Amino acid sequence: MASLCGGIIGLPNVGKSTLFNALTQGKAQVGSFPFSTVSPNVGIASVPDSRLESLTKLINPEVTKAAVVEFVDVAGLVRGAHQGEGLGNEFLSRIRGVDVLVEVVRCFKEEEIAHLEGDIEPIRDIQIIELELLLSDLEIIGRRLTKLNKLVKSGLTEDKERLSLLEKVKVNLEEGHSLRRVLRQEEKDELSKEGLLSLKPLFYVANVDEDDLTSPSPLLKRLRRHASEEGIDSIEICAQLEAELKELSSEEKIEFLKELKIEERIDRLIKEVYRKLNLITFFTITGGKEVRAWPVKRGISISRAAGKVHSDMEKGFIRGEVIVVSDLLKIGSIKRAKEEGRVRTEGKDYLVRDGDVIHFRFSS
């Protein structure tokens, strides 16, 4: 199954690859100079889920598989990227394919590490990226409009509604308005195939100094205020620390975090991305051999969910036997849960809920 993907974006040298490594336990090159990433790094992150851990303890399977989210770490973006500056065009086309944007904003001070704009100013950095995404979208919309106008004039289409929607988008982009705010949901849905960057779900990762985790600097407070005014979620992380934590055993990690009086944040970030992607989790227990968490879009029917496990299961779907994970954990076994009448039988149109444990019945 192709997993959904988070794109790590931001100016050069802000800690994108460091964050990528922390997220995916990857080995992307990290350098103290701008543009150390040229070709994108791709990796997967397991989605932390305490329910999966508890299920594993209960069932004791041979294998446990967590839900995963893919991350891509692309080259840094600079002013003029939409005209091809830096690695601009390659960058922009790469992120057009991702499902959620994770924007790393540099807040750590470290003078040895150059900032392309000269000083540490998170809000200005956010605005640079915002403008580049917007200009790139404007170019795309401009091209689409020219094409559609021709088709309408030559009578090949009468899609006036689309024409007026694209015009509305163009005007708003030209005036620098946030499409997230000005467009209605139906309009956003209508535009979903265009892959507009300024409509992708977005959140900020403030890459902060360790000290900021316990006492936020004025710079960080300004960034928080800005994000909340814009209605964009943000999360504060010390990417370097998180990357180092990944190298430790879990006991060492607990000790270390206790000493610093901080908590690990990377897991929270992965969960946030998952939520932004509008994903929920169902579980399967394959004959007690494999316990697995499956990510699916909220609102999926049980027969389509079966298709995520295997296409034959969707084709030959008969019914699903469903129990809520918390019930199963409380009762202790499927057998007993069945005896107690806690396992439901659901037909193909049942909408999967987060935390369902499902046994699919199908004919092959």
Ligand X SMILES: Nc1nc2c(ncn2[C@@H]2O[C@H](COP(=O)(O)OP(=O)(O)OP(=O)(O)O)[C@@H](O)[C@H]2O)c(=O)[nH]1
What is d(CA 187, CA 145) in angstroms, rounded to the nearest whole number? 16
Q: Is 284 in the site for Mg ion (CB under 5 A)?
A: no
DSSP codes joined into one string, 87-120: THHHHHHHHHT-SEEEEEEE----TTS--TTSS-
CB atoms within 10 A of CB 344: 13
What is d(CA 105, CA 127) in angstroms, rounded to the nearest whole number? 11
Q: Which one, 40 or 320, has the nearer CB to Mg ion? A: 40
Least distance to ligand X, CB of residue 36, Å: 4
Residues that bind ligand X (CB under 6 A): 10, 12-18, 30-32, 34-37, 76, 108, 110, 113, 207, 238-240
Q: Which does 238 bind (CB under 5 to 8 A by kind): Mg ion, ligand X, none?
A: ligand X
Q: What is the DSSP letter of 199?
A: G
Q: Which of 241, 205, 13, 216 is nearest to 111 (CA)?
A: 13
What is d(CA 284, CA 360) in angstroms, rounded to the nearest whole number? 9
Least distance to ligand X, CB of residue 202, Å: 17
Q: Which one, 107 or 197, has the nearer CB to ligand X? A: 107
Q: Which one, 210 or 354, has the nearer CB to ligand X? A: 210
Q: Which one, 17 or 301, has the nearer CB to ligand X? A: 17
Least distance to ligand X, CB of residue 268, Å: 16
Q: Which one, 78 or 325, has the nearer CB to Mg ion? A: 78
x/- string (CB under 5 A) for Mg ion, residues 29-68?
A: --------x-------------------------------
Least distance to Mg ion, CB of residue 128, Å: 17
Contact 276, 201 (CB under 8 A): yes
Q: Which member of 7, 11, 15, 17 binds Mg ion (CB under 5 A)?
A: 17
Which are the contacts of 20, defined by CB distance < 8 A and separation ≥ 6?
8, 26, 28, 41, 43, 71, 73
Least distance to ligand X, CB of residue 256, Å: 16
